[in-house]
Structure 1
Amino acid sequence: MRNIKPELIAFIDDKLKNNGSAQYALREGDARSLFIYAAEACVGQMEKGVNSGYFVELCQRTVDNYAGGEAWCMAFIESMLSYVEHKLGVTSPVFSSEHCLTVWQNTPDEQRVRNRPLPGAIIIWRHGNTSNGHTGIVTEFLCDKMLTVEGNTGNGSFREGDGVYQKKRSTNIDGDMRVMGFLIPFTKLAV
């Protein structure tokens, strides 16, 4: 179960207070757009050490109230989902876990999309034939590329990086990471 910390809510609220589009999404109950704006507001947040630091640990605690230096790309996504749930009073059908492939396997099939979902979809990559993965939020599609916002990545790294970045990725394979598919984060507008 996701439970975003009040400090992270306040941080994102402060970042979005002057974003007219985000404020419109809040008023209109547009969960998917708010999900994107919240993630974009976090771009530039960096680790302090390895898989640690105040922002990172707030994200890690969203899922299980534990921050022990674990990889945090999925914890970042779960935190953005929890932010939208908190602000709009909606519930995402996306399974709650810090493990990318566990989220993929346990999220209902009707939330899965294999090709070109709408912006705001959660992308899940698999690292080779391992049980390791990576994740991000798709913000735009450009032919065979996509723009994403990802936690625990970096300028030159694909996964296990040092912060929240906007990235341009292949829609299929990037290095030894293969796209498993995409998850629809919210199914409807808030009421």
Structure 2
Amino acid sequence: MAKTTIILLGLSLLIACRSDPGSRLPVEDLPSLRTERSKVKQSPLPEERSQRPSKVGLAMTDTLSIRHQVTATFLEEVGQLEVGKNNHGPAIKKYLASVGLGEGYAWCAAFVKWVLSENGLPASGANAWSPSWFPASRVIYQRNSEAKGNPQSGDVFGIYFSTKKRIAHVGFIHEWTEKYAVTVEGNTNDAGSREGDGVYRKKRLKRQIYAVADWITH
């Protein structure tokens, strides 16, 4: 009788153990578990997040790339000369077209406009009138004033003419050093005239530069 009781108790325990699911999830919950695991796998680790470039970093990289493109464009134009009459020729015609003018007009500012436009920079508000390139919001350097930034290749410089009482010649900064600036400018010549015959790469003393404007990063 005792043996029979023990056997029956053992069978009861065995049946109870088999029917108890313990901590196992129901079958219908397995897909959600897989989804949660996939989310964990796809989420970047803190280290990976820190290695991703920030929006500021990307903006700086983009700006540097644009400066390289602008520089390459204006350097390619060095040596372009007027053909035939003053302020005429195939190259001068395309520069002036960028500011809505035909041949025959002074074109130093038109050259700047054309180069920037070729690189997707419309320079809204700036035109064939040299002073239009120097609104206060764009100026980073002005002679005898505290500089807001360091001029870089692709920035626009202006030369002030006392006879006209305004900036009357513009071009591009290529290099900026302690004492001088290397420039690329249109409608000039070897003597540095504002009524020249072509696109030249020149070396000017910094004291000749009245203002510099940044149309790339602003």
Do they superpose with TM above 0.5?
Answer: yes
The counterpart of 2:191, out of the listed 156, 168, 180, is 156
Residue in 2 aligned with 1:61? Answer: 97
Residue in 2 aligned with 1:170? Answer: 205
The counterpart of 1:121, out of the listed 141, 155, 159, is 155
* 1:182 is the counterpart of 2:212: yes
* Aligned ranges 1:103-118 → 2 under 5 Å: 103-104=133-134, 107=135, 109-114=136-141, 115=147, 116-118=150-152
Higher RCO (C-alpha under 8 Å, 6+ residues apart): 1
Residue in 2 aligned with 1:35? Answer: 70
Aligned 8 A contact 1:136 1:149 in 2: yes
TM-score (norm 2): 0.62
Per the TM alignment, residue 180 of structure 1 is displaced from its structure 2 partner at its CA by 3.0
The secondary structure found in structure 1 opposite 2:154 is coil
Residue in 2 aligned with 1:99? Answer: 129
TM-score (norm 1): 0.70
The secondary structure found in structure 1 opposite 2:74 is helix
The secondary structure found in structure 2 opposite 1:152 is strand
Q: Which amino acid aligns with 2:139?
A: R
Per the TM alignment, residue 142 of structure 1 is displaced from its structure 2 partner at its CA by 2.7
Q: Which amino acid aligns with 1:128?
A: S
Aligned 8 A contact 1:101 1:126 in 2: no
Residue in 2 aligned with 1:7? Answer: none
* 1:70 is the counterpart of 2:105: yes
Relative distance call for 1:132 and 1:68 in structure 2 (3 A) is farther
The secondary structure found in structure 2 opposite 1:182 is strand
User: Runs in 1 of length 4+ with deviation above 6 angstroms?
Assistant: none
The counterpart of 2:87, out of the listed 15, 35, 51, is 51
Deviations 1:105-128 (A, max 9, x none): xx3x33211144122210011211
* Aligned ranges 1:10-25 → 2 under 5 Å: none
Q: How many residues align?
A: 148
The secondary structure found in structure 2 opposite 1:47 is coil
Q: Which amino acid aligns with 2:76?
A: A
Aligned 8 A contact 1:47 1:55 in 2: yes
Per the TM alignment, residue 141 of structure 1 is displaced from its structure 2 partner at its CA by 1.7
Higher strand fraction: Structure 1 or Structure 2? 1
Q: Which amino acid aligns with 2:94?
A: L
Deviations 1:76-104 (A, max 9, x none): 0000010011xxxxx45553210111232
Q: Which amino acid aligns with 2:90?
A: Y
The secondary structure found in structure 1 opposite 2:99 is helix
**What residue ranges of structure 1 are gaps of 5+ in the alignment?**
1-27, 86-90, 174-178
